[in-house]
Structure 1
Amino acid sequence: MCTMVHLLVIRKQALIHKQEITMRKFVSVGVTILDILGRPMNAIAANQGSELIEQIRITAAGTAAGPAVIGAKLGLDTTLIGAIGKDDMGAILNTMLVNHKVDTRYLQRYGEMPTSATILAINSAGERPNFHALGAAFSLTIDAPMHNEIVAADHIHWGGVGLMPGVPDSLGAEILAEARANGATVTADLIAPGDHTWPALEPLLPHIDYFMPAAEEAMAISGATGVESAAAWFLDRGGRGCIFKMGAEGSYLATAGETAYIPSFPVQVVDTTGCGDSYCAALHAGLSHGMTLLEACHFASATAALVASGLGSDAGVKDFDSTLAFMNAHRPQAS
């Protein structure tokens, strides 16, 4: 467990930087989806049968909207850049984002396409078979006002590398290079990686501070058999840092000067939807409060654990202070 001195240092850091956090601009770019979740759903009722379940929720999700909500909850001044449809689902999604204090001025709205949406049937073990309907999320383009919004940010998350066909890889690299030159911290994540992923990621990688996929995704792209060799593969190809998310096993951090395994926080798992997305946003929140990179990873791990304790991509997370308190009270020892 952390010593009392260590806990006081972390709390002092948070208090010192609490005023500064209100000035930190976080822009999350990419895939924006509406999730419809129910639990527990251990089987689909046959024919036209029905079954009572405990809970149904709708949440903002996807590798851009999910981090945007968590970032806003953790006190970042958050803007979402993504695409939705001009339909009821899009209207509901926009309302939820605004209620979470996410700036949606740069959400593109397409009349000819529905809002991308996923139905997730969460079973008693917290597993989440899902049914996805493609829609406007993958039609995002970036115009001049969006470009300016991104490069002026303090923190940027590029959510959905390889699944933004309307954003040429050369444009993405140009935007992220300009943002980093302006002092931004840049992270990036994947969704549904495949053969298309590495060609899209390669030009972006030198302009990403922390590449943050799931460990199995990183190993699939690199061909490596472990997280350490996968991280080395990306660093050898221009990556600045990697943080691989490993579910219940925690996460792995690798930069040119630092490597570490970060343990997960033990919780009763209800639903793991959005845990990885919340980790990405929480890393930015931790760094914005003056935490070291390693401390920010522990804070991100605590945030992901809170999300896993409830239903949906933002469950369990209230604000920065309560998440910090959870981290301090429940932080596991590194192995």
Structure 2
Amino acid sequence: MAHDVSVIGLYILDVLGRPVERIPEGGNVEFIDEIRLTVAGTAGGTVVDLAKLGLNCLAVGAVGDDEKADFMLATMERFGIDVSGMQRLAGVPSSATILNVRPNGERPALHMRGASDHFDVPPSDYDTVLAPPIVHLGGTGLLRRLDGEPSRILLEEAKRRGATVTFDLIAANAETIVNVKPLLPYIDYFMPSVEEAGAMSGRSTVEDSAKYFLDAGVKCCVFTLGGDGAYYAHADGTRFQLPAYEIDVVDTTGCGDAFDAGFITALHHRMDPETAVRFAQAAAGLVATGLGSDAGIRSFEHTLDCMKMWKVKGR
């Protein structure tokens, strides 16, 4: 069966614990309620959520030749994800993060870059990697070998072949725009957080940030605003902001990745823009209710039900 989406980029093993109020001094021990291992990253977290939402996914990234890779590949296969596009690299560790999740949901992180820095997509793989109707590139900023001109060539080829291109990054700052700006004409849906968009554009408002990226060639900006919801700005002039859902936040790890997955799923189902953003918000909200980047998401139908039933802030 043909893939619905190709998810290219950053694949990480997350080791999460909660609630962490403090790191014990010396060799002392503190007890916490929950520890999880998850496939994460701006590609890894997204592809798992997409699979849980019912899409047939091709995972395209890199892991090392270690026990972390064994877990990540086995987990993705268990969700029905095609991992034939995953490179297993000898001599380097899989990318991984330790997250100490605070009682308020904040998550200070310790990250080891690893295999994702050595990942690239050779032109010989384009026929497979760029065959699906939707191509998602996630993780620019932590893809040392793929960042920059290789990503521009990849996305230009994706568009030449008729794909819809969605894009997200990680830990963006003012310098990140150097790698991102050449990609913008080949991006249909640009989905950073508003903080990342502001840092890269140098603009102070969500409207001005969106205008910056639209003027640079992006077809549509879909910015996450945290507890303030999401903002949509299309080159055709469509603009709207939707408030967030009222939920009890446990952990915000992977909420942006889940938003991406929800929005891509909405594109697959040809939802109208407002419904697409609402569905993406529901997916992100579900992830925020548990520990880890795939927490809460069960299925397309369950997410759709939550989208319809949950209360929206201020209403």
SS state of the match for residue 173, structure 2? coil
Q: What's 1:11 paired with?
A: none
Q: What's 1:253 paired with?
A: 232
The match for 2:252 among 272, 282, 286 is 272
SS state of the match for residue 118, structure 1? strand
The match for 1:128 among 107, 120, 127 is 107
Whether the 8 Å contact between 2:141 and 2:147 is mirrored in structure 1 is no
Q: Distance in 2 between matches of 1:218 and 1:162?
A: 14
Q: Distance in 2 between matches of 1:60 and 1:71?
A: 13
Q: What's 1:303 paired with?
A: 283
Q: What's 2:269 paired with?
A: 289
- Which letter maps to 1:296? A
SS state of the match for residue 89, structure 1? helix
- Which letter maps to 1:217? E
- Which letter maps to 1:327? M
- Provide the TM-score with structure 1 as the length reference: 0.89
The match for 1:313 among 289, 293, 299 is 293
SS state of the match for residue 56, structure 1? strand
Q: What's 1:234 paired with?
A: 213
Q: What's 2:25 paired with?
A: 46
Q: What's 2:34 paired with?
A: 55
Structure 2 residue 79 is matched with structure 1 residue 93: no
- Which letter maps to 2:269? H
Summarize deviations over 1:161-183 as a string: whole Å, max 9, x none.
24323226344333323323433
Summarize deviations over 1:182-214 as a string: whole Å, max 9, x none.
332211111122354212112211110111111
Q: Distance in 2 between matches of 1:69 and 1:228?
A: 31
Q: Distance in 1 between matches of 2:45 and 2:117?
A: 15
**Identity across the alignment (%):** 41
Q: What's 1:13 paired with?
A: none
Q: CA deviation at 1:252?
A: 0.7
SS state of the match for residue 301, structure 1? helix
SS state of the match for residue 282, structure 2? helix
- Which letter maps to 1:155? I
Summarize deviations over 1:32-64 as a string: whole Å, max 9, x none.
100000111101112111122111100000111
The match for 1:36 among 1, 15, 36 is 15
Q: 1:23 to 1:81 in 2, by over 3 A?
A: closer
Q: What's 1:189 paired with?
A: 168
Whether the 8 Å contact between 1:150 and 1:175 is mirrored in structure 2 is no
Cα RMSD after superposing both structures: 1.7
Q: Distance in 2 between matches of 1:334 and 1:293?
A: 21
Summarize deviations over 1:58-102 as a string: whole Å, max 9, x none.
000011101000111111111111111100111111111111111
Whether the 8 Å contact between 1:74 and 1:318 is mirrored in structure 2 is yes
Structure 2 residue 307 is matched with structure 1 residue 327: yes
Whether the 8 Å contact between 1:81 and 1:146 is mirrored in structure 2 is no
The match for 1:147 among 119, 122, 126 is 126
SS state of the match for residue 120, structure 1? strand
- Which letter maps to 1:158? L
Q: Distance in 2 between matches of 1:202 and 1:69?
A: 28
Aligned residues: 314
Q: CA deviation at 1:133?
A: 1.5
- Which letter maps to 2:211? A
Q: Distance in 2 between matches of 1:196 and 1:31?
A: 19
Q: Distance in 2 between matches of 1:137 and 1:164?
A: 6
Any unmatched runs of 5+ in structure 1? 1-21
SS state of the match for residue 175, structure 1? helix
Whether the 8 Å contact between 1:307 and 1:316 is mirrored in structure 2 is yes
Summarize deviations over 1:224-271 as a string: whole Å, max 9, x none.
111101000111111211111111111111112211102211111000
Q: 1:157 to 1:167 in 2, by over 3 A?
A: same
Q: Distance in 1 between matches of 2:314 and 2:212?
A: 25
More moved, 269-278 vs 235-244: 235-244
More moved, 235-244 vs 164-173: 164-173
Q: 1:334 to 1:178 in 2, by over 3 A?
A: farther
Q: Distance in 2 between matches of 1:229 and 1:184?
A: 28
Summarize deviations over 1:266-300 as a string: whole Å, max 9, x none.
11100000000110111011121121122111100
More moved, 287-296 vs 263-272: 287-296
Q: Distance in 2 between matches of 1:77 and 1:195?
A: 35
- Which letter maps to 2:309? A
1:171-186 alignment, distance < 5 Å: 171-186=150-165
